[in-house]
Structure 1
């Protein structure tokens, strides 16, 4: 096997063993596409020639001290390591020395200096062809360890080889294991840049109010959507500007989307409704990282892999435009059939290469693997980051051995897929169809078994792929088969995911689609009780905002009976708050400023006081609608902060409330009505009418969110 790993870092110390899970890239077959793929037929240059949409830029992490810098610190991000913090920073060129950071307990007295290591890869294009303040190719890791818990420290990145030293910055270490003080965490998935402005604004407001850290479950920058500007609009993927399908699903879009095309631009190129964010894979990474570092520079930003981190692309265009470009090196062309393989991407854009270098998670310190799977403690909670993309049986991205059905480990070129990835851990005896053979599974069992629930009573697991959703796919079955039984056996409290671009909260779910309604509080679908070993909460939160817009129910499809709340319209993130050893709350924070779109209270209840058992729904997981359309229903819903709602009417029934603006109280009523028809919401005296989807259950549409009972 021919492989390529990190680039030669002349003049920079690098020990191969210190690269955190450096991916191996197979180069057995040559890459035959353009030297530098640029998805813009109007402006096929790297930095932009001024034609059409302008190329987007974001400020670097450190402002250069000169007008024409030769090197610069462009990205800074933090992540936890046991009893300390990893300071990750990025430059376009090497430092010539070990990366160094000064630190201390006082902003005015940085008394200590620590050095770290550097790694990198042969990115396409190299930073020698990109503006110094808009490119990263060298990645530096400096760890400060043996620190006191819940303590603020100050640090400064030192200058080297043309860079400018950073301002004096700060971070706060993690709470000690078992610390009973409350804390909040930002949880998000599927962010990108294009539609995430509101989410990002409210993330920063939440950080100002005091977040412990951010936990991002994959699909970070959407760098692999660089090609969206050269694929034609289509009815089943309506995210192009001024084409045959030029409308997006309902959502919160900036006014800039409605601006006319600039002179020389062609309809259907650039992002949705325009903008050349998405024309170079690596530049998308640079743009996104420089944008979000207002968070990553002050909060630990803990990440895990999603499908959009795997490779330069996932699929071809409707006329095989990517085959023409990446395989045949033919710009603005088509091909008779799709011939995309693992080798169709430039080598630096395969096998999670950028993802593994652009972040540094505590995999090696916690027995896991790099950024792919790891765990950490914070106060009363244990957090587990799983890889939902590779390294389990029938994962959505897979290793070469699966391409050959186990006959060989080296497939022919045409046997491979463009997203082939991993394995990042071992597969015992190459038994790739058995999850128990994978290192990730073995690690998960050990990690769960080692948790001291007297110190960390709460356990949260996140991966990119959901186990359950109204938007069913076979991937949910495979990840359920791989991990659900183990998570239930060890009493995990909640499983969090994204991937589907909407917000969806399920009822507590037991094994294989069993709905545990006995763990839902009476007359209150916003409160669940834990039921150790029987069920856990499931939440899909893929609404941070991205170029692909929202997921929506297809025509004729209805919400399944496992779904308690579904929002297909509003971008946002979630805030998980651990109040104490018995109570956790979860809030979906809308990015449009409308406040809280959904709230859940999760109450810890021991099995000794909970004699309930989960029973299968009468309709089962594959139900097409919710039963009982005209029986009396008891309703409880929490009104979003900032919305002054005086009444909610459904048919002949009305829920009256005196909820003042800025609170999150509840209103409860009993009704007897058929659900289809019109839902009227009186908000601050202004009548808004919405037509409900036909559901055989009571539903409330409040601030854009459907609440089901």
Structure 2
């Protein structure tokens, strides 16, 4: 299709504040107006022998067979002390969007109104089935709600839509609430290879996750040529839809299989040109995820796949020939390259991403969906933009494209993913302090009340460290690592690399903080010294897994690396001192990695500190007058102590003797003793860290031994990361970081009454308290 050139005043990609979704149109779009099938096979004439089109059920089932409008997507998000209800329709509502709500499903007496937005979608929904297309995006905020409370809501009918059923949501817990909660964390999720992740996400929803946090690369709409592949004998790992059927009255072409030569994607009446596929990929994915996003807040942040209609070209400039010259199945010289103007205007500059979600940027002083923060219970969550708005970002503004004395670049000087900035840039684009995002991030971190929210978790799309080394990682570190260390960020989460990877605690420039390693599955926080990094990019998409090159080994910063399994992760905040993380495999729901992060207690920070937990006050009683004796022989440590509680978790095999009773506790087992106070004698053999460093599925590398080269106190230098080199993990088993440090872990004893409904958490809570006692 051909779009006439339009001149806009000021560029969306100039170095000034531009959070409004806009695209520069100084040069015309001259791309295709033919079905992709004609590229694949020009003899196709609608023979009807190909794959069926993929459809997904809309959020609201139409009340009649031939709807003229419909609510296709519903998505929740946090908005200050309330929620935002986002919904999407193919056509306008004829009035301001509204939501009826209340604290009872039978009494929705309050009405909230909001606003609508739209963009010049290519093609418009008038050419697509009503229940499979979104072009109008509505946002209604319900404010000043009570925390941790269930509310009910209903979206009324308007301009031909069918009213929704009565739905519900639960508000965020207020900052400082001490009850445990779990978050579903995912990155890099399309359709293909993501079926298992989708199934396990829904199971987690049934188990009560508070919200989902998706760290970019949402739907893979820009992979439109590969797109969404339905199941076939030659592609068994695929996306086959959820069995939805279109309502009656739509064009018969939607009920007819694709012509035999066409690429098997969802598209328009004839399979669709590129523009149909890009927007329809978004539509299909959002409707697929409705069952999650309309029940719990679905918090998102930007990735590289949201920037534009495509990223890279193939051999012979095949894609540039198609998009720039409307020449399918053709090659061209290198001078015909993909530029910012190769995509239709509606598929540039994160336009779809900016319309299809509504995050609390305004409520937290950030910028729309690009950077924001919010509190939930004992944690402060930060979403920020790793794609634009910092020096040498992987997607950049026109200001980096200009040559000589130009004010704006020429068409052939631009890149297809040019984007932003979305905040103000006051100064040089090569100075991090010039960027509004950086200044916001420092202000946000400085304002965190660590008494209320002791845990601070940050996420953007791209990692700062990985065994798959890339230049952008150093740029990320240069921009943000110093702030995170300065303000004691506990964990940094990312994706982008399509595998699961957990590092050891890392300080500035990749220095391994051995002092923060209790064992391979338990770290302690060390504010100002180190951060735990987790790459969580394995949700599943058409691009499959990332893998190490043949002969390449993980770097010594990597503790766990899984290149084989898809899935997502659960982050659980248990209390002020215990955070656990579990990688949930999409294949069967089993665990691919379990990890615990612990903090010092809220008291003096000594071994006598007590920690509030789900099961009461967890501590080892070492008050004055308590009899404690310790003896060690043959690698076995025997401890006798008076305890005032009954629950303990052991990181290794341990034998407990209490009077005539003997308890043998194996690894990762919880022991409960009820008749306390008592005298407890336990023998303990510290666990071995003999874990293979071979590159296998779910690979775990051994913790760094005491012989690792030191550059700073308690750490190993990783200067090679700044020069692009790599260092393999230690070959073979090494001693446990705990043993290497010469520390004997005392078991936790938890005071108080019997564990209640959250007994499943007590093992992690107890382990954390034991670890904290060593600090």
Give CA deviations for 1:390-424 in whole Å, capped at 9, x if unaligned. 00000000000001268444100010000000000
SS of 2:385 mapped into structure 1 = coil
In structure 1, the partner of 2:748 is none
- Aligned residue number for residue 629 of structure 1: none
Alignment partner, residue 122 of structure 1: 120
- For residues 496-575 of structure 1, what are the structure 2 equivalents within 5 Å? 496-521=493-518, 524-575=519-570
Q: Map of 1:32-431 to 2, 5 A cutoff?
A: 32-35=30-33, 38=36, 41=39, 50-228=48-226, 253=237, 265=260, 280-337=277-334, 338-404=336-402, 407-429=405-427, 431=428
The alpha-carbon distance between structure 1 residues 175 and 50, as it changes in their structure 2 partners (threshold 3 A), is farther
Aligned to 1:3: 8
User: Distance between the aligned counterparts of 1:680 and 1:289, measured in 2?
Assistant: 30
* Contact 1:41–1:230 (Cα < 8 Å) also in 2: no
Structure 1 residue 488, shift from structure 2 partner: 0.5
SS at match of 1:71: coil
Residues 674 and 296 of structure 1: is their aligned pair in 2 closer, same or farther, counting only changes over 3 Å?
A: closer
* Contact 1:43/1:49, CA 8 A, preserved across alignment: no
Q: Please state how far the C-alpha of 1:53 moved relative to its aligned partner.
A: 2.3
Which shows bigger deviation, 598-607 or 104-113? Answer: 598-607
Residue 659 of structure 1, CA deviation: 7.8
User: Hey, what's the Cα distance between the residues in 2 that align with 1:179 and 1:673?
Assistant: 38
Which residue is 1:621 aligned to? none
Question: Could you tell me how far 1:255 is from its partner in structure 2?
Answer: 9.8
- Counterpart of 1:642 in structure 2 is none
**What displacement does 1:33 show?**
0.7
Kept after mapping to 2: 8 A contact 1:155/1:169: yes
Asked if the contact 1:504/1:565 (under 8 Å) is kept, the reply is yes
Contact 1:240 1:268 in 2 (8 A): no
Shift of 1:575: 0.4
Q: What residue number does 1:235 align with?
A: none
Q: Deviations over 1:145-188 (max 9, x none)?
A: 11000000000000000000000000000001100000000011
The structure-2 alpha-carbon separation of the partners of 1:376 and 1:596, relative to structure 1 and needing over 3 Å to count, comes to same
Q: Does the residue aligned with 1:587 lie in a helix, a strand or coil?
A: strand
Alignment of 1:600 with 2:595, yes or no, is: yes
Backbone CA RMSD of aligned residues: 3.7
Look up the match of 1:588: 583
Q: For 1:577, which of 572, 575, 581 is the aligned residue?
A: 572
Match of 2:732 in 1: 697
Pair 263,185 (structure 1): closer, same or farther in 2 beyond 3 Å: closer
Count of residues in correspondence between the two structures: 604
Query: Match of 1:86, SS?
Result: strand
Inter-partner Cα distance in structure 1 for 2:368 and 2:180: 29
User: What are the superposed Cα offsets for residues 6-58 of structure 1, whole Å, 9 maximum, x if unpaired?
Assistant: xxxxxxxxxxxxxx94322000011111247747745899xx98442222110
Instruction: Name the CA shift for 1:667/1:93 in 2 (closer, same or farther; >3 Å).
Output: farther
The answer on whether the counterparts of 1:153 and 1:172 sit within 8 Å (CA) in structure 2 is: yes
| Structure 1 contact 76–87 (Cα < 8 Å) conserved | yes
Q: Identify which range, 337-346 or 388-397, moves more after superposition.
A: 337-346
CA distance in 2, matches of 1:671, 1:425: 47
SS in structure 2 at match of 1:475:
helix
Alignment match of 2:459 (pick from 432, 455, 462): 462
The 1:348–1:535 alpha-carbon spacing in structure 2 relative to 1, beyond 3 Å, is same
Rounded to whole Å, the distance in 1 between the matches of 2:193 and 2:597 is 30
Name the CA distance, whole Å, in 1 between partners of 2:670 and 2:320: 53
Listed as ranges, the matches of 1:437-452 within 5 Å are: 437-452=434-449
- On the 8 A contact 2:53/2:258 being kept in 1, the answer is no
Partners of 1:445 and 1:564 in 2: CA distance: 30
Select the structure of larger CA radius of gyration.
2
Is the alpha carbon distance of 1:410 and 1:597 closer, same or farther for their aligned partners in structure 2, counting shifts above 3 Å?
same
C-alpha distance after superposition, 1:278-330 (max 9, x if no partner): 97100000000000010000000000000000000001112321111100101
On the 8 A contact 1:401/1:407 being kept in 2, the answer is no
TM (normalized to structure 2)? 0.72
Secondary structure of residue in 2 paired with 1:320: helix
Which residue does the alignment assign to 1:435? 432
Secondary structure of the 2:399 match is: helix
Cα shift at 1:365: 1.3
Q: Distance in 2 between matches of 1:672 and 1:311?
A: 46
Preserved CA contact (<8 Å) 2:36 2:262 = no
Cα 1:122–1:382 change in 2 (3 A) is: same
Question: In the TM superposition, what is the alpha-carbon distance from 1:230 to its structure 2 partner?
Answer: 12
> 2:469 aligns to what?
472
Deviations 1:49-102, CA, capped at 9 Å, x for gaps: 844222211000000000000000000000000110100000000000111110
Q: Deviations over 1:322-357 (max 9, x none)?
A: 111100101222223251100000000000000000
Tell me: CA distance 1:97–1:263, structure 2 relative to 1, closer, same or farther (3 Å): closer
- Kindly provide the CA deviation profile for residues 195-233 of structure 1, in whole angstroms up to 9, marking residues without a partner as x: 1110010001001010110000000110000022699xx
Is the 1:401–1:408 contact (alpha carbons within 8 Å) kept by the matching residues of 2? no
Query: What secondary structure, in the 3-state scheme, does the structure 2 residue paired with 1:445 have?
Result: helix
Contact map agreement 2:51 2:264 (CA 8 A) in 1: no
Quickly say closer, same or farther: Cα 1:471–1:658, change in 2 above 3 A: same
Question: Which whole-Å CA distance do the structure 1 matches of 2:381 and 2:190 have between them?
Answer: 23
- Structure 2 regions of 5+ residues with no counterpart? 1-5, 11-17, 242-256, 608-634, 636-664, 672-683, 700-727, 735-775
Q: How far does the alpha carbon of each residue in 1:616-674 deviate from its partner, in whole angstroms, 9 at most, with x for none?
A: xxxxxxxxxxxxxxxxx9xxxxxxxxxxxxxxxxxxxxxxx9789999xx997648899
The SS at the match of 1:23 is coil
SS of 1:285's equivalent in the other structure is helix
Q: Using the alignment, how far apart are the partners of 1:610 and 1:136 within structure 2?
A: 57
> How far, CA to CA, are the matches of 2:191 and 2:396 in structure 1?
27
| Alignment deviations for residues 370-408 of structure 1 (CA, whole Å, 9 cap, x no partner) | 100000000110000010000000000000000126844
Task: Provide closer, same or farther for how the CA distance between residues 546 and 603 of structure 1 changes in structure 2, counting only shifts above 3 A.
Answer: same
Query: Separation in 2 of the partners of 1:677 and 1:224?
Result: 31
CA distance in 2, matches of 1:370, 1:558: 40
**Matched residue of 1:153: which SS?**
strand
